[in-house]
A = this chain, B = another copy of it.
Amino acid sequence: MMKTIADIANLAGVAKSTVSRYLNGGSVSEATKRKIELVINETGYVPNTFAQSLKAKKTNIIGTVVPRLDSFASSQILIGVDEKLREMNYQMLISNTNQSLTREIESIYSLSNQKVAGIILLATQITDTHIEAFEKINIPVILVGQQHDSVYSVIHNDESAAYELGKYILKKGHRKIAYLGVTNKDIAVGVKRKEGIIRAIKDEEELCEVNFYETGFDMNEAVSKASTIIERFKPSIIVCATDNIALGALKAAHQRGIRVPEELSITGFGGYEVTEITHPSLTTVKFFYKEAGCDAANGIIKLLKGEEFSPVTLSKYQIMERESVDKK
């Protein structure tokens, strides 16, 4: 049988309110404290969360909305969020939207109905409907991976990372560059990474030939897109907007019997674990997803406590110089 606060009060010979005060750090004399403590230990009493939340009208749950569960980046961010939250005695509730923007909006409202204390959104696109939802629910929201003026954001600093990667490949002598990117609807991945590369090329004094292509996030689509690029454009390097796309490009090169990096260099973005183990291993930009997750978790708790939190947090990155880029 589940014990209630009334049982504890009876057993300890005090009032329910006193037990409640003991539990919540109110003023209780040392003597009664000890009595209550004893009873609680003996009975293994655990307060009913529903009753608590019903009164307090809030929970220590942070809702985390993710577009998909099966992506390296998502997993790592979630791990970071979960770890930090657990540390701070909060709980993470994951809501998977399966890449549906509609379900994303639904999730935001539904989490709010469940009285989560705050929401962390692993964002892809931020629409007006999102902003409207954020305003309506009236609890702290932090975006991870995308930036928006009216919401707190933790981003991966895609532009700088891309700029640095661009400088790197230029230094390696590449002048005939294919950039295989994704939709502009994704500001971070589609726009910022491309912009960083473009800025690096602009800074370069020598002339570069650059072609831009677009593909989806899916590996298989990347294989065929890359294959066509190799055939028609014959670049010395394919700069891919994600590691998955780079993996696809690598496959395309293998299929065509083109040696990487001797005949063709390839780079990615992300730093997925598997990029270390491919042959050749992939030169890429590593983002610190887990740390970004921690940052977001920290931020939401600060916001909850009414403390200061910067509107935009830049997460770290690191160029991983490996085998897939050769001197030209």
Residues of A within 8 A of B (CB): 46, 48-51, 53-54, 68-70, 72, 75-76, 78-79, 82-83, 92-94, 96, 98, 113-115, 219-220, 223, 247-248, 250-251, 254, 273-274, 276-279
In the complex, residue of chain B having the shortest beta-carbon distance to the beta carbon of A71: B75
CA distance A72 to B69 in the complex (A): 9
> How far is A82 from B82 in the complex, measured between Cα atoms in Å?
18
**Contact yes or no, B94 A49, CB < 8 A:** no
User: Which residue of B68, B247, B276 is within 8 Å of A274 (Cβ)?
Assistant: B247
Which residues of B lie under 8 Å from residue A219 when comparing CB positions?
A: 273-274, 276-277
The distance from the CB of A256 to the nearest CB of chain B, in whole angstroms, is: 11
* Listed A/B pairs (24) with beta-carbon separation below 8 Å: A46-B113, A49-B113, A49-B114, A49-B115, A68-B79, A69-B69, A69-B75, A69-B78, A69-B79, A70-B72, A78-B96, A83-B98, A94-B94, A219-B276, A219-B277, A220-B276, A247-B274, A247-B277, A250-B277, A254-B279, A274-B274, A278-B278, A278-B279, A279-B279
Q: Which residues of B contact A50 (CB under 8 A)?
A: 50-51, 53-54, 115
Question: Which residues from B are CB-within-8-Å of A113?
Answer: 46, 49
Shortest A158–chain B CB gap in Å is 22
Copies in the complex: 2
Bound-state Cα–Cα, A93 to B94, Å? 7
Which of B46, B54, B76 is in CB contact (< 8 Å) with A54?
Answer: B54
A79 with B51: CB separation less than 8 A: no
Is there contact, CB below 8 Å, between B93 and A93?
yes
Judge whether B69 and A96 touch: CB under 8 Å.
Answer: no
Residue in B76, B247, B277 whose CB lies within 8 Å of A70? B76
Contacting residues, chain B, for A247 (C-beta < 8 A): 274, 277
Complex CA distance for A98 and B70, rounded to whole angstroms: 17
A250 to B70, CA, bound (A): 23
Contacts of A96 in B (CB 8 A): 78-79, 82
| Residue on B nearest A46 in the bound complex, by CB | B113
Q: Which residue of A53, A69, A72, A98 has the most chain B CB atoms within 10 A of its CB atom?
A: A69
The 9 lowest CB-CB distance pairs between A and B, nearest first, are A70-B75, A254-B279, A50-B54, A50-B53, A50-B50, A69-B75, A251-B277, A94-B94, A46-B113
